[in-house]
Amino acid sequence: MKIAVGQFAVAPHWRENALTCVEMMTKAAEQGADLLVLPEALLAREDNDPDLSVKSAQPPEGDYMRMLREESLKNALTTLLTIHVPTTGGRAANTLLALRGGEIIAQYQKLHLYDAFSVQESRLVDAGESIPPLIEVAGMKVGLMTCYDLRFPELALSLALAGAEVLALPAAWVRGPHKEHHWATLLAARALDTTCYVAAAGECGNKNIGHSRVVDPLGVTLAGAAQSPDLIFADISSQRVAQVREKLPVLKNRRFAAPRLL
Contact criterion met (CB below 8 Å) for 68 and 99: yes
Query: Is 260 within the bounds of a domain?
Result: no
Per-residue pLDDT reduced to its tens digit, 159-216: 999 999 999 999 999 999 999 999 999 999 999 999 999 999 999 989 999 999 999 9
Contact criterion met (CB below 8 Å) for 98 and 144: yes
Largest CA-CA distance found in the chain, in angstroms, rounded: 52
Q: Which helix (H) or strand (E) holds 17?
A: helix 14-30
- What does residue 228 show for φ and ψ, rounded to 5 degrees? -100, 160
Strands 115-116 and 2-7: unpaired
Percent of the chain with pLDDT over 90: 95
Per-residue pLDDT reduced to its tens digit, 103-141: 999 999 999 999 999 999 999 999 999 999 999 999 999
Residue ranges making up the domain that contains 117: 2-253
Per-residue pLDDT reduced to its tens digit, 21-42: 999 999 999 999 999 999 999 9
Active site residue 40: yes
Q: Measuring CA to CA, how many Å separate 98 from each of 52, 81, 105, 157, 172? A: 23, 7, 6, 21, 18
Annotated catalytic residue, options 71, 110, 121, 141: 110
CA atoms within 13 A on the CB side of 79: 36
Annotated catalytic residue, options 147, 165, 203, 204: 147
Active site residue 110: yes
Query: Is 258 within the bounds of a domain?
Result: no
**Residue 187's closest CA among 1, 5, 33?**
5
Q: What is the CATH number of the domain that holds 200?
A: 3.60.110.10
**Residue 94's closest CA among 76, 75, 115?**
115
Count of domains forming the chain: 1
Average pLDDT score over residue span 50-63: 96
Cα–Cα distance, 211 to 228 (Å, whole number): 9
Query: Is 115 within the bounds of a domain?
Result: yes
Query: Is 151 within the bounds of a domain?
Result: yes
Task: Specify the pLDDT at position 257.
Answer: 73
Cα–Cα distance, 251 to 127 (Å, whole number): 28
Query: Is 42 within the bounds of a domain?
Result: yes
